A and B are shown apart, each in its own frame.
Chain A
Amino acid sequence: MEEPPLEQDAPPKPVPRPKMSLAARLLNVFAIPGQVFGELATSPSAVSNWLVPAVLAAIVGVLSALVIFSQPAVQKQFRERQDKLLQQGSTAAKMTAQERAVVERMTSPPVLKAVGSAGAAIGSFGNVLWWGFILWFLARSLLRVQVSFAKALEVAGLAMMINVLGGIVAMLLIVHVGRVGATPSLALLVKDFDATRKGDLFAAAANVFSVWVVLVRSIGLAKLAGVPYLRAAWAVFTFWILEQSFLILSGIGQWAM
C-alpha cells in the first residue's frame, strides 16, 4: 500500500516587519534613513512624525541660545559687532546718544538670549513647514509625482533630527572655541569669523549637518516619490544651494548668524 504523499509545508509566509515606533524612527533616521522613509511611505500619516522633531529642535535651539549668549566671549563679539555697525555709515552720525543707548540695551545679553530663544523656537517649526512645502513642490513640479503634503511634512520633520544633533554639536563647539562662527563647517577654519563677510558665511553654509540633512531629505523624497535617489538628490541639493546663496548674498544670512 502506497503511503499517501506527504503534504509539503507551505513556504513560510514572509514575517511582516514590525512597524517602527516613533522613538525608533527618530533614532533610526540617523543610521538607516532609507528604511525609515520606506516604511513612512506606506504607513498612514502621523502628526507626531514632524511635530515631535520640531519640538525637540525648538527645545535644543532655546537651550543653545541661552548657553551661547551666556558666554563672555560671545557677548564681547556681539558688542564689538554692534560698535562697528554703530560707527559705520551715516546711521551712526544721525544717532543721538539716547538712540545709541537704546540700541545698546537692545543688544544686551538678556535681550540676545530672549531673541535668540524665540528665533530658535519659531525657526524650528518654520524650517519643518518650509522644507515640507519644498519637498512637496519639488515632487510635483520637478519629479512629476503626486505626493501628499502631509507625507512631505513627515519626511522634513524626521530629517529635522539631524538638525537637532547639529544644534547640540554647534553649541558645544561654540562654547569650546568661544566664537560665534564655530560650527561644524568650513567656518571653523576661519580664524576671525565675521558674519558681515559673505565669504565667511559661505564657509559657514558648508556645514556637515546641513549637508547630512539635505542627503536625508533627498532619501525621503526619493522613497516618497518612488524615483531613483540621484534624481531626488539633484533636485533637493540644487534647491538648497540656491537657497543658501540667496540668503547669503542678500544679507539675510548674517542676521541668522
Chain B
Amino acid sequence: MAKSTKRRRIVVFSIIGLVLAGLGAVAFFRKREAVITVQTEKVTRRDITEKVVANGKIQPVLQVKINPEVSGEIIDLPVKEGQSVRKGDLLVKIKPDFYLAQLHQCDAGYESALAGKAQAEANLEKAEADFKRNKDLWEHKLLSESDFIGFKAAFDVSKAQVESALHQVESAKATVASAQDSLDKTTIVSPMTGTISKLNSRLGERVLGTVQNVGTEIMTISDLNEMEARVDLGENDIVLIAPGQTAQLEVDAFKDRKFTGTVTEVADSSNDSSSLAATSSTSQEATKFQVRIRVQEKEQFKPGMSVTAEISTRFRTNALTVPIASVTTRMPKEKDKKKDGKLALADPPATNSVAGNNDDQSCTNCAPTNGVAMEAKTDKKSKGAAKPIEVVFVKDGERVKMVPVKIGISDDNYWEITDGLKEGLEIISGGYRAISRDLEDGKKVKIGPPAGEKGKDGEPDKKD
C-alpha cells in the first residue's frame, strides 16, 4: 500500500514537473508579439482636386450708399426698402427753404455787383473824358502839370474800379451758382438702376451732409442681378487662391442647390490690417483675407445671406493616391536620416500625372491632419533634433514596412503621393490607433474589420 502510494506520488509529480518545465521553456524562449488588426487598400491612380473651404456672405457686386451733401429735414421719401428704382428716379427730397433763401441772397448780391460795375463804368467814362480834355490843354500848356496828373490819376482809379467791379460780379455769380448747387442737392435721384436694399432714414428725419464728409447714410441701392460671395480665408489658404479659380457655393437659404462661382478678387491685405488690432503683436484674432467669388446663377439672393464656398485650387490628373487615414508621421530611423532622402520603396516619380495650374512646387499646406499632427518636412540641413516625417505602412506578407513618402495635394479622402510608392501596393488604411500609434516597421498584422464592427455572420472577420 505504501509502495503504491509512493509510486502514485512519483507519477503525479513527474507529470506536473514535466508540464511545468515544458511550458516554462516554451514561454521563455518563444517571443510573442502582438498581431495588430488592420484594414488595407491599394495605391491607385485617380484625379484629385484640392479644395479650400471658406464661409462668408452673399453681397451685391455693385452697391451704392446714398449720402446727402446738404443737411436738412427729409420732406419727401417716395421709395421703400426692397423697391426697384431706375436711374434718375427721385429718392429723397430735403427741405430747400434755407438753400432757396441763400440763393436769393446770392442773387441780390449779384445784382448789386452788376450795379456797382455799371457805376464804375460810368465813372470811368467821365474820368476818361476829363483826362482827354485836360490832356489837350496840358499839351498846349494851358494846364499845370499837377492838375494834369490829378486827372490822369482819376482816370486810372476809375479803370481799376471797373476791373474790381467786374471781379465782384464774377464772385457774386459764383456764389449764385454755389447756392443753386446746394439747392439742387436737396433733391437726390438714383445714380443707378437697382433695388433699395437698405433704407435707414424716415420721412421727417434730419440728415447731415457735407461736401467733405460722408454724412448720414440714407439708403443703399444694390444691383441684385449680379451677386458675389465674399468669404474669408486664413493666411495659410490665401496663397493657394487666384482669380479665375472655380468654386462650388452652398447658400444656407437654398440647401438643395449648389451654385457655381468664379474667383474675381483676392485681397492683398488682411481684413484687420488697417485696425489697431493688426499692429498689436498680442492680437489673438486669426488673420483673415477676403476673397470675392462671382456667382454665375441668377437666384433670389439677398445681401447678407450666409454662404459656404469650396474653391478648387489645384488639381492633378491620374495621380498616385492613398487614403488620407493611411498617411501618418513617425520619427525617422537613423539609417533613413543618413540616406538623406532615399526611400525604402523608392520609385521614379510618376511621369504621367498632369498638374493643374502648372504648380509643381512643394505644397505649403500639406501636413497630414491625422495621427501626430506635427511638422511634415524633411530637413536636409538639420543636424540637431530630427523631425517627424510622413510615412505609409505597406503590407509585406504578414508584416508591414514603414515607407517614407512625399505628399502633394489632397482632397476630402485622398493624398497625392509624389514619391515613395508605386501603383498597386497594398497599404494600411485603418484602424486609426494602429496607424497613428501602434504600427512600426516590421510589426505583424492581420486584416480584420475595424474595431466595433463584425463580419457578415456577426463574427469578427478571421481572414488573414
Contact = CB atoms under 8 A, between A and B. Distances in A.
A72 B33 contact: yes
A176 B24 CA distance: 9
Interface residues on A, range: 20 to 34
A178 B446 CA distance: 15
A172 B23 contact: yes
A140 to B, nearest CB: 31
A80 B37 contact: yes
A173 B16 CA distance: 14
Given A87-B452, A191-B462, A72 B34 contact: yes
B20 interface: yes
A175 interface: yes
A35 B19 CA distance: 25
A255 to B, nearest CB: 20
A76 B23 contact: no
B27 interface: yes
B35 interface: yes
Given A28-B9, A80-B37, A83-B433, A178 B32 contact: yes
A163 to B, nearest CB: 14
A55 interface: no
Interface string A198-230: 000000000000000000000000000000000
A31 interface: yes
Interface string B27-50: 100101111110000000000000
Contacts of B32: 71-73, 175-178
Contacts of A75: 34
B8 interface: yes
A100 interface: no
Interface string A24-58: 00011011100100000000000000000000000
A83 to B, nearest CB: 4
Contacts of A80: 37, 451
B274 interface: no
Contacts of A191: 462
Contacts of A192: 459-460, 462
B440 to A, nearest CB: 11
B13 A176 contact: no
B142 interface: no
Nearest to A165: B16
A176 B16 CA distance: 18
A186 interface: no
A134 interface: no
A8 interface: no
Contact of A35 (B5, B20, B460): B5
A87 B451 contact: yes
B24 to A, nearest CB: 6
Contacts of B462: 191-192
B211 interface: no
Contacts of B34: 72-73, 75-76, 178
Given A169-B20, A172-B27, A31 B13 contact: yes
Nearest to A171: B27
A30 B27 contact: no
A30 B451 contact: no
B12 interface: yes
A83 B34 CA distance: 16
A84 B37 CA distance: 13
Contacts of B37: 80
B438 interface: yes
A61 to B, nearest CB: 17
B451 A83 contact: yes
Interface string A164-191: 0100110011011110000000000001
A73 B20 contact: no
A141 interface: no
Contacts of B5: 31-32, 35
B452 A175 contact: no
Interface string A91-117: 000000000000000000000000000
A32 B33 contact: no
A21 interface: no
A88 interface: yes
B26 interface: yes
B8 A31 contact: yes
Contacts of A176: 23, 26-27, 30, 32
Contacts of A168: 20
Most buried by B among A28, A80, A169: A80
A35 B24 CA distance: 30
A30 B12 contact: yes
A31 B9 contact: yes
B13 A27 contact: yes
Contact of B35 (A31, A73, A83, A169): A73
A31 B4 CA distance: 11
A30 B13 contact: yes
- Which 7 residue pairs spanning A and B have beta carbons closest together? A172-B23, A31-B12, A178-B32, A87-B452, A31-B9, A72-B34, A76-B34
Interface of A: 27-28, 30-32, 35, 71-73, 75-76, 79-80, 83-84, 87-88, 165, 168-169, 172-173, 175-178, 191-192, 194
27 contacts: A28-B9, A30-B12, A30-B16, A31-B8, A31-B9, A31-B13, A32-B9, A72-B32, A72-B34, A73-B33, A75-B34, A76-B35, A76-B36, A79-B433, A80-B37, A83-B451, A83-B452, A84-B452, A87-B451, A165-B16, A172-B20, A172-B23, A177-B32, A178-B32, A178-B33, A192-B462, A194-B460
Given A176-B32, A178-B34, 18 more contacts: A31-B12, A32-B8, A72-B32, A72-B34, A73-B32, A73-B33, A76-B35, A83-B452, A87-B452, A169-B20, A169-B23, A172-B20, A172-B23, A172-B26, A175-B32, A176-B23, A192-B459, A192-B460
